[in-house]
Amino acid sequence: MLTLLIIKNRFYFVLLFTLLSFSVANAQDVLKAYVDTAFKNNIVLQQKNVSLEKAQYALKSAKGLFLPNVAFQGAYQTADGGRNIPLPLGDLMNPVYNTLNQITGSSNFPMLENQTINFLPKNFHDAKLRTTVPIINTDIIYNKRIAEQQLVLKEFEVQIYKRDLVKEIKTAYYNYLSALAAVDVYKSGLQLAREGLRVNEKLLENGKGLPAYVLRSQSEVESVNATLLDAEQKVNNARLYFNFLLNRDANEAIIVEAANDKSELAKVEGLLAGLNIANQREELKALGQVEGISKNVQKMNGQFAVPKLGAFLDVGTQSEGFHFNSNTRYYMVGLQLDIPIFSGNRNSNKQKESSLDLRNAQLNSNLVAQQLGLSAKVSQNNLRSAYQTYQSSQKQFEAAATYLRLIDRGYLAGANSFVETIDARNQYTSSKILVNINLYKVLTAMANMERETASYVIN
């Protein structure tokens, strides 16, 4: 029998441990599922992803500048009047041709008329395919590097907002649970107040109570009921904000998994024991990219004196009267060289301006690094304060619960007054609410510290 009892006890212990573990894991899974939903649906995060996608296309465009560019170009011109060039071909060649015809006794040399050539083209077209390719151009090299850095910067901005979103979701979820816990406490307080009213009404019926006690009990019932309605409204507001973060229907229900005190609060001691500040937070990495962009802009502006060389190939046709034959077709190959000589010191001024931008980015990086370190230490101090307040409220609740039991017994025995029972009941309700509020304040402080130390794992 003893062995059977031991086996049963072990079985129940394992079963209880398994259920508790499942409850804790389930609570964590619910909150993580909400975070994943927000990553998919949050509008601001979608805007950040759109900016990231734009940066990807900007990088592709910057890489495309290295490839040849082919374009069709067409032109049509016609004119009349203007200057003319007289060509007296008849006056020059006809005497010679006449003499040759006499000598040869033939008419092989016809007579020519004088010609007039107009300067302006008439019914002239030029259609061609122009292919251009850069050979030496430092601007497109640095533009590609800057586009790559801007893409990485956008990726960091997405990560930064994700961390902020995780904190907001956890805080909103804990606020919702805290509001629900307050409603439960007020409902319990309302039951106690109604029970007090019932007891006083019975005492009055039996000639042992006072009408003033009944009136006071009714007033207490109405007061607690009004407080309950206000608490329920806070629950609705908390649900609205939580669903707003997830970009879903405002009235959609929230899965409630109350926090396990021991499992969650066990982490607090470790967080307070040491402060692990991530040296490579996304904010610092983003500022590093800003510095890199400023450096590349400075280098690009410093290369203004480097010549730019490009090549082109034209394949087309040109004629008057829209003819297309072997005489109208042509091709042209060439090189284009651009060497800057003087531009009113604009290039040197741009270089100095970019140097100041780089200096400002470096100073900003140092400032933000100090601010992040300060924020992490402040979040740890806030967690310590919230945890100590929670421990104090637990002791206060235990004392209030004991006091309420003693006063209730004394009142029924006639040793304590009704006012004392109301005061004891209010202390009990307030201390119970305070325990729940302080518990979720601890969890909110943990979420804030998790954000400040960038310890949440984002896939």
Range with the poorest average pLDDT among 144-148, 216-220, 258-262, 305-309: 258-262
- The model's pLDDT over 236-251, given as tens digits with 9 standing for 90+, comes to 999 999 999 999 998 8
Longest dimension (CA), the chain: 164
> What is the torsion angle, in degrees rounded to the nearest 10, for the CA atoms of residue 47, residue 50, residue 55 and residue 59?
180
Q: How confident is the model at residue 312 (pLDDT cuts 50, 70, 90)?
A: very high
Range with the poorest average pLDDT among 12-21, 110-119, 328-337: 12-21
Instruction: Please give the C-alpha separations between residue 8 and each of 1, 170, 205, 254, in angstroms, as whole numbers.
Output: 11, 40, 53, 38
pLDDT of residue 260: 57
pLDDT of residue 114: 86
> What is the torsion angle, in degrees rounded to the nearest 10, for the CA atoms of residue 91, residue 93, residue 98 and residue 102?
150
pLDDT of residue 261: 55
The residue with greater pLDDT, 412 or 330, is: 330
- The model's pLDDT over 139-180, given as tens digits with 9 standing for 90+, comes to 999 999 999 999 999 999 999 999 999 999 999 999 998 888
User: Per-domain residue ranges for the chain?
Assistant: 85-120, 137-305+340-452
pLDDT of residue 281: 86
If you average pLDDT over residues 37-58, what whole number do you get?
92
Architecture of domain 137-305+340-452: Up-down Bundle (1.20)
Average pLDDT, the chain: 84
pLDDT of residue 313: 96
If you average pLDDT over residues 124-135, what whole number do you get?
94
Residue 5 CB: number of other CB atoms within 10 A? 9
Q: Give the torsion sign (CA, 37, 42, 48, 51).
A: positive
Percent of the chain with pLDDT over 70: 91
Q: CA–CA separation, 459 vs 456, rounded Å?
A: 10
Those residues with Cβ within 8 angstroms of residue 407's Cβ, 6 or more apart along the chain or in another chain? 416, 420, 421, 423, 424
Instruction: Please give the C-alpha separations between residue 223 and each of 179, 227, 408, in angstroms, as whole numbers.
Output: 18, 6, 20
How far is Cα of residue 126 from the mean position of the Cα atoms in its chain?
52
pTM, whole model, 2 decimals?
0.77
Look at residue 16 and tell me whether its pLDDT is greater than 60: no
Q: CA–CA separation, 162 vs 391, rounded Å?
A: 32
- The model's pLDDT over 173-199, given as tens digits with 9 standing for 90+, comes to 999 988 888 888 788 777 777 877 777
Please give the radius of gyration of the chain, using alpha carbons only, rounded to the nearest integer. 44
Q: CA–CA separation, 211 vs 207, rounded Å?
A: 10
pLDDT of residue 70: 95
- The model's pLDDT over 281-296, given as tens digits with 9 standing for 90+, comes to 889 999 999 999 999 9
Residue 91 CB: number of other CB atoms within 10 A? 11
pLDDT of residue 308: 92
Q: How confident is the model at residue 206 (pLDDT cuts 50, 70, 90)?
A: confident
Look at residue 25 and tell me whether its pLDDT is greater than 70: no
Q: CA–CA separation, 134 vs 305, rounded Å?
A: 17
Q: CA–CA separation, 175 vs 441, rounded Å?
A: 9
pLDDT of residue 364: 92
Pull the structure tokens for residue 290: 């800003």
The residue with greater pLDDT, 233 or 274, is: 233
Using alpha carbons only, what angle is made at residue 380 by residues 374 and 385, rounded to the nearest 5 degrees?
125
pLDDT of residue 314: 95
The residue with greater pLDDT, 279 or 431, is: 431
Residue 289 CB: number of other CB atoms within 10 A? 21
If you average pLDDT over residues 321-328, what whole number do you get?
86
Q: Give the torsion sign (CA, 34, 37, 41, 46).
A: positive
The residue with greater pLDDT, 454 or 25, is: 454
The residue with greater pLDDT, 175 or 29, is: 175
**Max mean pLDDT range (28-37, 162-171, 423-432):** 162-171
Q: CA–CA separation, 211 vs 205, rounded Å?
A: 10
pLDDT of residue 418: 67
The residue with greater pLDDT, 341 or 277, is: 341
Percent of the chain with pLDDT over 90: 40
Q: How confident is the model at residue 316 (pLDDT cuts 50, 70, 90)?
A: very high
